[in-house]
Amino acid sequence: MADEKKQIPLRLSSKLYEKIASWAEDDFRSVNGQIEYLLSECVKQRKKNGKYLPENLDDNIDLDI
């Protein structure tokens, strides 16, 4: 049996959605595909070193997306 995908509701700000949509277009993915890719990368990073973000990420993250 193939890995069944679960559907979940997700709320995003319009600014965040637009940024993800633009990135998805650059990577030739759908918005859903881009979100799945980003979440997968985050999980891989967490498994690899126990952290959600790499240590070399800038301290001044602009979270006002």
pLDDT (tens place) for every residue of the chain, 65 residues total: 568 989 999 999 999 999 999 999 999 999 999 999 999 988 888 887 776 666 665 555 565 66
Q: Is 30 domain-assigned?
A: yes
| Distance, CA of 64 to chain centre | 16
Q: Is 64 domain-assigned?
A: no
Q: How many domains does the chain have?
A: 1
Q: What is the dihedral of CA 46, 55, 65, 5, to 10 degrees?
A: -20
Q: Is 7 domain-assigned?
A: no
Query: What sections of the chain are H helices per DSSP?
Result: 14-26, 31-49
Q: Which pair of structure tokens corresponds to residue 29? A: 């993915």
Could you tell me the pTM of the whole model?
0.69
For residues 33 and 35, what is the distance between their CA atoms, to the nearest angstrom? 6
For residues 62 and 65, what is the distance between their CA atoms, to the nearest angstrom? 7
